[in-house]
A and B are shown apart, each in its own frame.
Chain A
Amino acid sequence: MTKTITLAQGNGGEENNELIKKVFYKAFANEILERSEDAAVIGNLAMTTDSFTVSPLFFAGADIGKLAVCGTCNDLAMMGAVPKYLTCSVIIEEGFEVALLERIVESMRKELAINGAVVVSGDTKVVPRGSVDKIFINTTGLGEIVQEGISSNNITQEDIILINRDIGCHGATIFAAREGMEMSSTLSSDCNSLYPQVKALMDAGVKITAMRDATRGGVAAVLNEWAKQSNVCIEVEEEKIPVSDEVKGICEMLGFEATALANEGTFVLAIKKENAQKAVGILKGFEMCAMASAVGEVSQKYPKKVILKSAWGTSRFLETPSGELLPRIC
C-alpha cells in the first residue's frame, strides 16, 4: 500500500479493498463487520452508513440529496430490510447558498417518503471556505429485516445471476457532466430507491439468495466480491448484460467498460434458477427496469473468478476494476 492516500484508494475496487482491510478491518475486526455485507445484520435489524461527496451536486436524474437517501436505503434493502430510520449529518462550506441547501433537503424528503423512512437524528457542521468542497452529507440507516438469510456468502450452483436494469448510467452521467460533454439528451443517472423493487420480489414469494447494489466499482466489482465471498465461479454472457446505447457510446469515447461504471439504482441478484423467469417478469413491471435480464450462471470452473463469455465463443476473466476511474461519483 502507498504511504499517502491516493484517489485510487476510494475507487470501490482493488486499492479501496486493500485500504479497508489493512487499516479499518485490522483495527475494528469483529464477526459482524467481517461478513462484508452491504449492511450489518444485528438480530432482525440491518444497519449501514454512507457519505456523499458527489461533484457536481446537481446532475441529470438526481442530486446529492436524493443520492444520500437512496444510497443508504438501498444498502438496507439489499439485505432484505425495509428502511426505517436515518440520521443525516452535513458538513457545509462557508458561503454555500441556503437556497441550494433547501433544494437538496427537499430531494431528501421526497426520497425518504418513497422508502417510508424518517430522519430521526442529525448534525450540522460549517467549515471555513476551502476546508470542504461545498457540501458533504453522511447518512446512517436502520432497517427491519423482512426476508432473513440474504447474504453474499451463500451463492451456489443452484443460483442464477440477474441484473435489474441497464447498467452504468450514473457513472456515465457524472463523467459526461464533469467533462462538459453534451452528447445525449436522454442520458441520466439511475439514482433511485430500490426498496419498492425488492418489496415486489419478496411479496411475490421470490426467495432471494443475495442482492447487492452495484455502486462504485460497478457490476464487475459486485460479481467479483460474490465469487470470492461464496467461493464460486460466476459465468456471465456479455451480450446479456443490459447496456443502453448512450452508455455504450460514452464507454467507446472514453475507454471505459460499462461493467466498471458506478450505479446508484442498479442491483445484481442471485436467486434460485426456478425463480429466475418470475423475478425478471416482476422487475420488468417497473418502468426503469425494462432491460432487466438474467445474465449468468454459477459454476465451479474457476472458483473465486468471474468469466465473461463473448457471443463468438471466446471467454476471459472479468476483473475487479482498479485504478482511479471516476473520483467523487457519490
Chain B
Amino acid sequence: MSSLELKDLYDGFRDPEVIKGYQKVIATDAQKLPHTINIMEVCGGHTHTIMKYGILQLLPKNIQFVHGPGCPVCIMPKERIDHAYVLSMQENVILVTLGDMIKVPGSNGSLQDARAKGADVRFVYSPLDCLKIAKENPDKTIIFFAIGFETTTPMTAALLETVIRQDVKNILLHVNHVTVPEPMRVLISDESCIIDAFLGPSHVSVISGSKIYEEFPRDWGKPIVVSGFEPVDVMQSISMIVKQFIEGRCELEVEYNRAVTREGNTKAQAMMDKYFQKVDFRWRGLGDIVQSGLGLRDEYDRYNAEKIYDAILPKEEIDDHKLCICGDILKGKATPPQCSIFGTACKPTSPVGSCMVSSEGACAAYYKYGNLI
C-alpha cells in the first residue's frame, strides 16, 4: 500500500489560518509599495485558483491581477479547431483529445456537435489511453489531437514512443503543443504592456525547470515567482513578489519548491527533444509567434496527421467574432466583464470566444465564480 494519499496533495495548502496570515502580511507590506503593481498570472490554472478561492477579495487595491495566455484550449486558433472537426468527420477515424477541446466552437461547430452528427470523438485523461482504443478498433485510424504546454508534451512523446516500439499501425498525431516563454516575451515587448511581475506557471517548470524564466528578471526587469496551485501557494507567491518590490529586488524565486528544480525533469526534456522540434505557431489573440510551438520532427512524418491529411485540412486563417475581445484578454489589456457580450451572447453553454470555453479560461472563471460579491 502506498503511503502517499491523495489528500496529502492539498491538505494544509487550503488552511484558512495560513491564508488569513498571508492576507495580513501582504496588507502590511503593500502599504510600502511605491505604486500599484500589476501581476500577470500566465497560467490558466492560476486564473482558476485565483477566482475559485476568491484571492482577489483578500488583496489590497494596489495589487492587481492581469490574466495571461496560459490556457492551451483558449489560445488554439479557430482553423486548428476546424482541423480537429474535419478529421473527426473522416470515415473510419476516431478522434481523441483532452477534455475541454470537445466544447470549443470552430467555424462548423464543436467536436461535441461533430459527435452528435455521427463522428466518433472521445476524450481521455492520458494520451496513452489511445493505445487501448487503437487495440479495440484495429480497423479504425485513431488520431490524437494533442494540446498543451510543456506540461503535457512529454505524455504525447511517450505515446509516440510506445506506438513506434510496439509498431502500432493505427495511431496518428495532430500536434498543437506550445511553449510558455515565447508568448511572455511577446507580451512584455508590447509598448502598452502594464505587467510589473509574473506569477510563473509551475507545472511547466516541473518539466522544463525554473531556468526557463531566468531571462525575465535579468533581461526584462520583471520579478517572477514560480507558484503552486493551491490558495496558500498563490498567497505566499504574491507575498514574495510584494517583498521583492519593497526590498528593491528583481529575481526569479520558486515558491513551488516541493516539485520544481532549476533543471527540471531532464528525462522528459530528452524525450521531448527526441520527437519534437520548435516550430512557428499562430496563437489565438496573440497572432504568429516565431518558434513558440512544438511540432513533430520530420523523421516522424508517417505519424503526422497534419501532413497525411494535408489535402483536406483547411488552411485559411480565421479571425475571431468581431465583438469578441478574447485577444485583448489574453494579452492582459482587458478583463472579461469589459467585453460587451460577456455573460450575454457569450456564456459557457454557448461560448463565442475561446476564453469562455475552457474552465481555465479567464472568461469562464469570471462567469463561474463571478467575484461580484
Residue of B nearest to A302 (CB): B373
> Do residues B113 and A317 form an inter-chain contact, with CB atoms below 8 A?
no
Stretch at the interface among A1-9, A21-29, A109-117: A1-9
Chain A residues with CB below 8 A from B55, complex form: 314
Smallest CB gap from B10: residue in A = A252
A253 within 8 A of B: yes
Task: List, in ascending order, chain A residues with CB within 8 A of B99's CB.
Answer: 255
Which residues in A have their C-beta under 8 angstroms from that of B115? 6-7
Contact B57 A314 (CB under 8 A): yes
In the complex, B54 has a CB within 8 A of chain A: yes
Asked whether B52 is an interface residue with its Cβ less than 8 Å from the other chain, the reply is yes
Chain A residues with Cβ below 8 Å from B7 are 245, 248-249
Residues of A within 8 A of B370 (CB): 316-317, 319
Q: Which of A239, A248, A313 has the most CB of B within 10 A?
A: A313
B89 within 8 A of A: no
- In the complex, whether A323 has a CB less than 8 A from a CB of chain B is yes
Total residues of chain B contacting the partner, CB 8 A: 36
Q: Are the CB atoms of A183 and B116 closer together than 8 Å?
A: no
Min CB–CB distance B342 → chain A (angstroms):
15
Shortest Cβ distance from residue B344 to the other chain A in the assembled complex, whole angstroms: 15
Q: Quick check: A312 and B19 within 8 Å, CB to CB?
A: yes
Q: Which range holds the interface residue count of chain A?
A: 20 to 34
A97 at the interface (CB under 8 A from B): no
- Which B residues between 210 and 264 are near A, CB-CB below 8 angstroms? 231
Bound: A323/B9 CA distance, A: 27
Asked if B6 and A312 make an inter-chain contact with CB atoms under 8 angstroms apart, the answer reads: no
- Our pick among B51, B368, B373 for the contact of A315 (Cβ within 8 Å) is B373
B116 to chain A, nearest CB (A): 4
**CB of A311 within 8 A of chain B?**
yes
Q: How far is the CA of A105 from the CA of B159 in the complex (A)?
A: 43
Chain A residues close to B by CB (< 8 Å): 2, 4-8, 14-15, 18, 179, 183, 239, 245, 248-249, 252-255, 302, 307, 310-317, 319, 322-324
Q: B102 touching A310 by the CB < 8 A rule?
A: no
12 further interface pairs, Cβ-Cβ under 8 Å (given A7-B116, A313-B20, A323-B103): A8-B349, A312-B19, A312-B23, A312-B53, A312-B231, A313-B58, A314-B53, A316-B369, A316-B371, A317-B372, A319-B368, A319-B370
Q: Nearest B residue to A248 by beta-carbon distance? A: B7
Q: Which B residue sits closest to A8, measured CB to CB?
A: B112
Q: Is the CB of A252 within 8 A of B116?
A: no
- Smallest CB separation, B346 vs chain A (Å): 13
Nearest-neighbor residue (CB-CB) of B22 within chain A = A312
Q: Does B16 contact A (CB under 8 A)?
A: yes
Q: Which of B51, B112, B367 contacts A6 (CB 8 A)?
A: B112
Nearest-Cβ distance from residue B358 to partner chain A, whole angstroms: 11
Q: Which of A2, A15, A179 has most B Cβ within 10 Å?
A: A2
Q: B233 → chain A, closest Cβ, in Å? A: 14
Q: Chain B contacts of A8 at CB under 8 A?
A: 112, 349
With contacts A6-B112, A8-B112 taken as known, whether A316 is within 8 angstroms of B6 at the C-beta atoms is no
Indicate if the CB atoms of B54 and A183 lie closer than 8 Å: no
Per-position binary interface string of chain B over residues 101-119, scored 1 when its CB falls under 8 Å from any chain A CB and 0 otherwise: 0110000000011011100
Q: B323-356: contact bitstring with A at CB < 8 Å (1 yes, 0 no)?
A: 0000000000000000000000000110000000
Per a CB cutoff under 8 Å, which of B58, B348, B368, B373 touches A312? B58
Do A248 and B348 touch (CB < 8 A)? no
Contacts of B371 in A (CB 8 A): 316
From the candidates B19, B57, B117, B368, name the one contacting A4 in the complex (CB within 8 A): B117
Contact between B116 and A316 (Cβ–Cβ < 8 Å)?
no
- Whether the Cβ atoms of B112 and A7 lie closer than 8 Å is yes
A324 to B117, CA, bound (A): 16
Query: Are A15 and B116 in contact, with the CB atoms below 8 A?
Result: no
Can you report 30 A-B residue pairs in the complex whose CB atoms are below 8 A from each other? A2-B113, A4-B116, A5-B116, A6-B115, A7-B112, A7-B115, A8-B112, A14-B349, A18-B349, A179-B125, A183-B6, A239-B16, A245-B7, A248-B6, A249-B7, A255-B359, A310-B16, A312-B23, A312-B53, A313-B57, A313-B58, A314-B53, A314-B55, A315-B54, A316-B369, A317-B373, A319-B368, A322-B348, A323-B103, A323-B348
Set of chain B residues within 8 Å of A302, measured between Cβ atoms: 373
